Structure 1
Amino acid sequence: MTNGFGFSFPNDSNDDGDNDANNRGGSGNGRGDGDGSNPFAAFGFGGSFGGGQSGAPGGGGLGDMFNQLGQMLSGMGTSMNAQDKGDAVNFELAARMARQRLAGVSPVSDADTRAAEESLRLVELWLDEATDLPASEAKAQAWNAEQWLNQTMPMWKRLVNPVAEHMNRAQLDTMPEQAREMMGPMAGMMNQMNAMQFGMKLGHALGDLAQQALTGTDFGLPVAPAGTAAVLPRNIAEISKGLDLPGQEVMVYIAAREAARQRLFRHVPWLVERIVSSVEEYAAGLEIDTSHIEEIARNLNLEGGDPQQIQEALQNLQGEDLSPRVGTRNAGATSRLETLIALVEGWVDVVVAEALGERIPSTPQLAEAWARRRATGGSAEQAFANIVGIELGAPRTRDAAELWRRIGTAVGAERRDQVWNHPDFLPTAEHLDNPAAFIDTLLDDQPDTDFDDEFAKLEQELRDNPELKRDEGDGKDDGREDGTEL
C-alpha cells in the first residue's frame, strides 16, 4: 500500500507474507476506493473519464466500469436474494468481499490473547490515577482482522445505511422528471443494483481497514460492540516492526488508548448516539451537483460527425472530473462530528500521557508515532471517507489535546472530566481556536472561595461575640426625632 495505517509505516504484508495484488483485492491505494476530491468515490462515483487506474475500484475508466459490471452481474442472483429489503446497501455482499481480501488470516494465539488481556488489565490501574471516569469494566479481547470485521459490522451498518439511502434519493432528485417517470417500473431493480454497488465498495474498504485497525475503537469511532475492549495483536506486531521500541511497550500504549476510549463510551451515555446522529444529519442533507458535467457536455460538439473532431473532443475529456459533486446542506452536522472526534482523541492523548508518562519512558515517542499515523492515513476522517463516504476535515486533535491539557491545569482533572456530563458543556470548534474563552467559563462556574472565606469568618465572629449583634441592633433608628415610637 502507498498509504499504510501503521504509525505511518506501510503495512504491505498480509498474513502469509504474499504481496500479490490478487490477495489484497487488487487495490494499491491505502485509502480504499476514494480520493480527497470525491467523498463518494468509495461508493462508485468514479473519477475522471478514461483516467481510472486499472484495479483501482474508484477509477472512472471504461475498462473498470465493465469489470465492475461483470462482477456485479456474475453474483447478482444470490446477492439480490440475500439482500435485506430494508437496507440501501447489500451488506451480505460487502461482508463476502471483505472476507475475500482477508483470506488466510491466522487465528489469535493463546500467547497474544494473554498479552492483550494483561495489557488492558494493567493500564486500567494506571488510568485510575489520570481520570475520574471509572473503568469501563469492558471485556478484554484479542481479535484478528476477520473478528474485527465481524464484530464491527453492525455499527458500520448503522453508519453507512442512512448515507446510502439519502444518496439514492439525491441521485433521483437530479434526474429529469420524465426520466424518473420512465424509470418507475424499474425502480426496485435499480435500488438493488445500487445496493450491490454500495456493497462492493464497502467490502473493499472494510477489507482494507480490517488489516490496518489496531483496536476496536480506532480513531475515536465506537464501532466495537458495547462492553468490549479489543486490540489486534497481529496488526500491532506489524506496526511495531517499524519502531525501534519494545513490542510490549507498543502493545501497552495502544491498550491504554483503547481502555481510555472505553471509559468515555461507557460513562458518557450520549456520546455514541451523538456520533451516529451527526452522520444521520449529514446524510439527510445530501445534495448532488452535476452542473459542471452538464457544462462539459454543452461544450462538447459531436454534431459535426467528423471522426477526427470526435476523437479530439474525447481526448480533451481525459483528466476531466466527471464524478458528481456531493455535498450536504447540514454543514453543522459535519462540523460537530469533526469537533467531537477531535475532542475524544484529544482527551485520550492527555489522559494516556498522564497515566503512562512516568511508567513507560517511550510514551512521548509512541504518542508522536500515533500522531504520524493519524496524519498519514490512520485517521477518523479517512475511515469515514473510505467507508461511510463523508468527507471530513482533519479533526484538530492536537488543538483539542492542548485544550484538555490547559483545562486540567486550570481547574483540575475532576472538573475537566465533568465537561463530558452533557453535550452542551463541551467545547465547540471556536474554543479550539480560543481555549482561554472556554476555560474562563469553567472558572466562572467555580465557587468564589475568597468571598466564602470572608463570609465564614464574619459568621464565626458573630457566633463568638453575641454582643456585636446586639450592638448592631442598638445602632439602628427605631423612633422619630421627637422620641415617639413609629
Structure 2
Amino acid sequence: MADDDRSPEDEFQELLRSLMGQGGTLGPEQLEQLGAMGVDPAMLQQMMRQLQGAFAAGGDGGIDWSATRTQALHLANKDDHGIRSGDRQDFSDAFSLATLWLSEATTISDLAVPPRALTRGAWVEATLPVWQELAEPVAGSIADALTAALETQAPEEMREMIAGAGRLLRTVGGSLFAAQLGAVIGKLSQEVVSGGDVGIPVMPDGEAAILPQNFADFGRDLGIDDDQLALSLATRELAHARLFRHARWLRLHVISQVTDFARGIHVDTDALEELASRFDPSQPDELRQALESGVLLPQQSEAQAAALGRLEHLLATIEGWVDVVTADATTRLPSADRIAEAVRRRRAVGGPAEQAMASLVGLQLRPRRLREAAAMWRAITDAVGREARDGLWDYPDLMPTPADIDDPSALIGRLKAHARGEAPERDEMDDALDALLSEAASRSELPGDASEPEPVAEDTDPEGPEGPRPV
C-alpha cells in the first residue's frame, strides 16, 4: 500500500507498532509524526512502555495478569525472611494434634494432602488464580469504560485514530487494574494468618496452610501462649479445609456467587470521564488511587444487594459451622475462648479480605450473621449430634436457610424425624410438584395423544401367526 493511500488510523497504528518494536524509543521521524498529530511525545512514550509487554504477547485486547503476579510477589517477598525450621516443625506438630482433635468433633474426613507452612510469596502463588477469577469481570468493565471515556474526551481530530487503537487503550485500563489487584493481594499476603482466613476458598481444593510470619504478628498483643494459639488456628484451618473438600459443590457455589455479584458491577462513567479529562498516562497514580478507593464503583443495585445478602448468608453458615467445630475440638485449651473471641473481633471490624474485595469489586465479605449461624449449629449439634449435623453439607438443598438461622427448631424437627425413620413432613412445594406431575399424567392419558401410543391388546390379529382363525 502506498503511503498516500494510508488512512490516519493506519498511520497511527503503524506508529504504535513501531514504538513497540523499539521499546518505546522515539526517533526523529516519530517525533515529527507526533508533532503533526498534536500528541505529547513524552506522554505517549510512557504509555508505550506500559503497553509493550502486552503488545509483544499478541495484544489481543485482553488483560495481562502478569502485572498482578509481579506486583503481588514484590510486596509479599519484600519483608519475608522465609520459614525457620523450628516454625515449620512447630506447625507440623500443631496440625498433627489438631487432626486428632477434629476427629472427635466432626465426622467429616481428614485431608488427603498434608497441611503446610507457607511463606507470603508461596501464598500469593497458590491463591492468585482464584483472585484473578474473582476480579476479571470488574477488570473488563473498568477497561472498557476507560477506553470509552478516553475516546469521548479526545479532540475531534484524534478520535478516529484513537478508535483505531481502542484495543491498546483497553489494555492500558486492564493493565492498571491488574497492577492494582497485585498491590492489594501483596498487602493481603502480609496480613492473612491461614488459607481459610479470607473466608472464601482461595487455596487449592483440599489444602490447608498457615503463614508463620503473619501468625507471629497476629498473636503479638494477645498475651496468649504461642502453642495454644498455634493449636487453635491450626484446628480452625483444618476444619475450614475439610469442609470444602467434603462438600465438593461448596467451592464452586461460593466463587460463582462472588463472580455473579461482580458481573453486575457497572463503572461510574461520570466519575471516570471526569478522571479521564485530566488523565496523564505517564503519571497514572490518580487512576490507581481511584481504583484502590473504589470511587469508580457506584452504589449497589437491588439485584446486587440481594446477591450480597445470599453470599453473606452462605459465608455466615460456613464460618458458623467452623466456629462450633473448632470450639468442640479445642476444649482442652485453657485460652480457647479468648482466641475465638479475638478471631471474631478481627472479622467484625472488617478483615483484610473485606478491604481487598471492597476496594476492587465493591464487595464486603463480612459474615454479618455469624453469631446467629453459630448458635444454630450449636443447637443442631446438641439436638441430633455431629453426624446428622455434618450430613447437612452432603447436598446443596440440605443446607440451612436464613429462616433456619432465625429459628432452627423446624430443621431440628426434620432431622429428628429422619433419625426415627419417619417420612419427612410435606410442604407446599411437595404439594405443588405432585399437582404438576398429576396434571402431566392426565394429559398423557387423553385420547389421541401421540406422545404415547395406545397399547395393542393381545390376540386381536385375525390372521394370527398361523393364518385365519375359525369363526
TM-score of the pair, normalised by structure 2: 0.67
Q: Residue 188 in 1 paired to residue 188 in 2? A: no
Provide the C-alpha distance between the structure 1 equivalents of 2:233 and 2:58, rounded to a whole number of angstroms: 36
What's the CA shift string for 1:134-173, capped at 9, x where partnerless?
Answer: 1122222111111111111122122211332345457789
- Return closer, same or farther for 1:82/1:407 CA change in 2, 3 Å cut-off: farther
For residue 238 of structure 2, the aligned residue among 259, 279, 287 is 259
Q: CA deviation at 1:348?
A: 0.6
Provide the C-alpha distance between the structure 2 equivalents of 1:234 and 1:350, rounded to a whole number of angstroms: 27
Q: Is the 8 A contact 1:83 1:91 kept in 2?
A: no
- 1:383-394 equivalences under 5 Å are 383-386=356-359, 388-392=361-365, 394=367
Q: Residue 372 in 1 paired to residue 351 in 2? A: no
Q: What SS does the aligned partner of 2:248 have?
A: coil
Q: Residue 227 in 1 paired to residue 202 in 2? A: no
- 1:400-419 equivalences under 5 Å are 400-419=373-392
- Return closer, same or farther for 1:330/1:80 CA change in 2, 3 Å cut-off: same
What's the CA shift string for 1:423-464, capped at 9, x where partnerless?
Answer: 121122343333334434434544368xxxxxxxxxxxxxxx
For residue 94 of structure 1, the aligned residue among 65, 68, 79 is 68
Gaps of 5+ in 1: 1-68, 297-320, 450-486
Q: Is the 8 A contact 2:142 2:174 kept in 1?
A: no
Residue 115 of structure 2 aligns with an amino acid whose one-letter code is: A
Q: Residue 343 in 1 paired to residue 322 in 2? A: no
- Return closer, same or farther for 1:402/1:169 CA change in 2, 3 Å cut-off: farther
Q: Is the 8 A contact 1:72 1:196 kept in 2?
A: no
Q: Residue 114 in 1 paired to residue 93 in 2? A: no
Provide the C-alpha distance between the structure 1 equivalents of 2:359 and 2:346, rounded to a whole number of angstroms: 16
- Return closer, same or farther for 1:93/1:234 CA change in 2, 3 Å cut-off: same
Q: Is the 8 A contact 1:130 1:354 kept in 2?
A: yes
Q: CA RMSD in A?
A: 3.5
Q: CA deviation at 1:82?
A: 7.1
Provide the C-alpha distance between the structure 2 equivalents of 1:84 and 1:211, rounded to a whole number of angstroms: 34
| 1:154 corresponding residue in structure 2 | 129
- Return closer, same or farther for 1:282/1:235 CA change in 2, 3 Å cut-off: same
- Return closer, same or farther for 1:224/1:323 CA change in 2, 3 Å cut-off: closer
Structure showing greater relative contact order (alpha-carbon pairs closer than 8 Å, 6 or more residues apart): 1
For residue 217 of structure 2, the aligned residue among 233, 238, 246 is 238
Residue 417 of structure 1 aligns with an amino acid whose one-letter code is: D
Q: CA deviation at 1:417?
A: 0.7
TM-score of the pair, normalised by structure 1: 0.65
What's the CA shift string for 1:334-377, capped at 9, x where partnerless?
Answer: 222211111111111000000001x1111000000111111233
Gaps of 5+ in 2: 1-42, 275-293, 423-471
- 1:1-80 equivalences under 5 Å are 73=47, 75-80=49-54
- Return closer, same or farther for 1:120/1:409 CA change in 2, 3 Å cut-off: same
Q: Is the 8 A contact 1:286 1:326 kept in 2?
A: no
Provide the C-alpha distance between the structure 2 equivalents of 1:343 and 1:89, rounded to a whole number of angstroms: 35
What's the CA shift string for 1:114-141, capped at 9, x where partnerless?
Answer: 1111111110110011111111222221
Q: CA deviation at 1:184?
A: 3.9
- Return closer, same or farther for 1:431/1:242 CA change in 2, 3 Å cut-off: same
- Richer in helix (by share): 2
Greater CA drift, 322-331 or 140-149: 322-331
Q: Is the 8 A contact 1:160 1:388 kept in 2?
A: yes
Q: Is the 8 A contact 1:163 1:389 kept in 2?
A: no
Q: What SS does the aligned partner of 2:385 have?
A: helix
Q: CA deviation at 1:189?
A: 1.5
- Return closer, same or farther for 1:100/1:284 CA change in 2, 3 Å cut-off: closer
What's the CA shift string for 1:212-246, capped at 9, x where partnerless?
Answer: 01112213221112232211111111221111111
Q: What SS does the aligned partner of 1:287 have?
A: coil
Greater CA drift, 96-105 or 401-410: 96-105
Provide the C-alpha distance between the structure 2 equivalents of 1:322 and 1:416, rounded to a whole number of angstroms: 43
Residue 67 of structure 2 aligns with an amino acid whose one-letter code is: L
Provide the C-alpha distance between the structure 2 equivalents of 1:129 and 1:118, rounded to a whole number of angstroms: 18
Residue 356 of structure 1 aligns with an amino acid whose one-letter code is: T
Q: Residue 425 in 1 paired to residue 398 in 2? A: yes
What's the CA shift string for 1:381-403, capped at 9, x where partnerless?
Answer: 33422455424554321121111
- 1:133-148 equivalences under 5 Å are 133-148=108-123
- 1:468-479 equivalences under 5 Å are none
Q: Is the 8 A contact 2:244 2:251 kept in 1?
A: yes
For residue 335 of structure 2, the aligned residue among 362, 366, 375 is 362
Structure 1 vs Structure 2: percent identity of aligned residues?
34
Q: Is the 8 A contact 2:127 2:202 kept in 1?
A: yes
Q: Is the 8 A contact 1:90 1:198 kept in 2?
A: no
Residue 130 of structure 2 aligns with an amino acid whose one-letter code is: M
- Return closer, same or farther for 1:95/1:446 CA change in 2, 3 Å cut-off: same
Q: What SS does the aligned partner of 1:271 have?
A: helix
Aligned residue pairs total 357
Provide the C-alpha distance between the structure 1 equivalents of 2:46 and 2:230, rounded to a whole number of angstroms: 41
Q: Is the 8 A contact 2:145 2:272 kept in 1?
A: no
Residue 87 of structure 2 aligns with an amino acid whose one-letter code is: D
- 1:292-371 equivalences under 5 Å are 323-328=296-301, 329-357=303-331, 359-371=332-344
Q: What SS does the aligned partner of 1:325 have?
A: coil
Provide the C-alpha distance between the structure 2 equivalents of 1:71 and 1:175, rounded to a whole number of angstroms: 17
- Return closer, same or farther for 1:87/1:232 CA change in 2, 3 Å cut-off: farther
Provide the C-alpha distance between the structure 2 equivalents of 1:333 and 1:160, rounded to a whole number of angstroms: 16
